[in-house]
Amino acid sequence: MNRNRIAMLMYRGHMTQLLEGKTGLVMGVANKRSIAWGIANAANKAGARLILTYQNERLGENVRDLAPQLTNPLLLPCDVSNDGEITTLMSRIGEEVGHLDFLIHALAYAPREDFRIALDVSAYSLVAVSGAALPLMKDRQAGIVTLTYLGAERVIQNYNVMGVAKAALEASVRYLANDLGPHGVRVNAISAGPIKTLAASAVGGISGMIKLNAERAPLRKQVDLDEVGDAALFLISPLSRGISGEVIYVDSGYHILGV
Ligand code: NAD
């Protein structure tokens, strides 16, 4: 989409159709509190057709219950710790749609202190799904977005091995951005402030973190799903066509604070 067309859509107040005619893959919906669900809603409202994946049949039931709220989504299984499932997913998308304009990677897992699994599911999976999706995304001005957290660069109590995994994820965003840029694919991350989700409830003291963020952050409020969804919408839309390899903070400004 060229600059004049974007300007025209904005001028007419048609910002909501920013993703008209686009198709995207959203990975990581577990329930209605998932960040992936907030992003799916924003992209759906902006006119995109969505493919949602679910990790297993149990979570698949939740996703099937939520799906009617979207326009004609395609639902497919994918456990990212299994390369075969990633390959099968991309070939199903290839057969049913033929291409992808964006990919949202909003998933993470750290069973207690297990370093290998945390890095595999939370960081390596971005490299695996991006590589597998490349044939569907190249030369389409496509965008990939993943979710990270401040614990990647500062010590956050109880975040532990997930902070190490997020640091690897953010480094992977930069390397992938450089590898995929020549194919017309941008790769960025959103560093979200704390939000009460299934994954976040595994981090001890999440309620206290949310309260602290709301009290101290420059905007003096907690982050919500719509804010993360809209930032993701920006990052997968042509409005961000000059941005790649970046980490954008959607945390009410919390990360700028010192003591
Ligand atoms: P969530 O529990 O709703 O989502 C996590 C998702 O990861 C689930 O859908 C789960 O099925 C999926 N997942 C885990 N292992 C998987 C596997 N092997 N294969 C496929 N999917 C798998 O929680 P969320 O908070 O929405 O998490 C989404 C992303 O946002 C994560 O990367 C998380 O680290 C990040 N994040 C969350 C917060 C927060 O406070 N909630 C803040 C910053 C970043």
Termini Cα distance of the chain: 44
Centre of ligand 1 to C-alpha 29, Å, is 8
Per-residue confidence (pLDDT) for residue 259, from 0 to 100: 82
233-259 burial: b if 16+ Cβ within 10 Å, else e: bbbbbbbbeeebbebbbbbbebeeeee
Active site residue 149: yes
Question: Of the residues 11, 109, 124, 149, which is catalytic?
Answer: 149
38 C-beta neighbours (distance < 10 Å), count: 25
Question: Which range marks the domain in which residue 242 is found?
Answer: 12-252
CATH number of residue 76's parent domain: 3.40.50.720
Burial class (CB in 10 A: 0-12, 13-18, 19+), 207: exposed
Q: Is the CB–ligand 1 distance for residue 194 below 6 Å?
A: yes
Per-residue confidence (pLDDT) for residue 68, from 0 to 100: 98
Centre of ligand 1 to C-alpha 82, Å, is 17
Per-residue confidence (pLDDT) for residue 113, from 0 to 100: 75
Q: Is the CB–ligand 1 distance for residue 35 below 6 Å?
A: yes
Amino acid at site 4:
N
Residue 259 located in a structural domain:
no
Q: Is the CB–ligand 1 distance for residue 29 below 6 Å?
A: yes
Residue 258 located in a structural domain:
no
Residue 1 located in a structural domain:
no
Q: What is the pTM of this model?
A: 0.94
Q: How far is CA 135 from CA 68, 215, 219, 231, in A?
A: 29, 45, 41, 26
Per-residue confidence (pLDDT) for residue 128, from 0 to 100: 98
Pick from 58, 107, 161 the residue to mutate for probing ligand 1's pocket: most ligand atoms within 8 Å of its CB.
107
pLDDT below 70 — which residues of the chain? 1-16
Active site residue 159: yes
Q: Confirm if 89 and 103 have CB atoms less than 8 A apart.
A: no
Per-residue confidence (pLDDT) for residue 1, from 0 to 100: 55
Ligand 1 atom 21: the closest Cα is on which residue? 55
Question: Which neighbouring-strand residues pair with 75?
Answer: 52
- Helix 125-137 vs helix 83-96: angle between axes, to the nearest 10 degrees? 20
Per-residue confidence (pLDDT) for residue 57, from 0 to 100: 97
Q: Is the CB–ligand 1 distance for residue 108 below 6 Å?
A: yes
Residue 51 located in a structural domain:
yes
Tell me the C-alpha distance between 191 and 148, whole Å: 5
Our count of domains for the chain comes to 1
Question: Of the residues 159, 175, 249, 254, which is catalytic?
Answer: 159
Q: Confirm if 192 and 228 have CB atoms less than 8 A apart.
A: yes
Rg (CA), the chain: 17
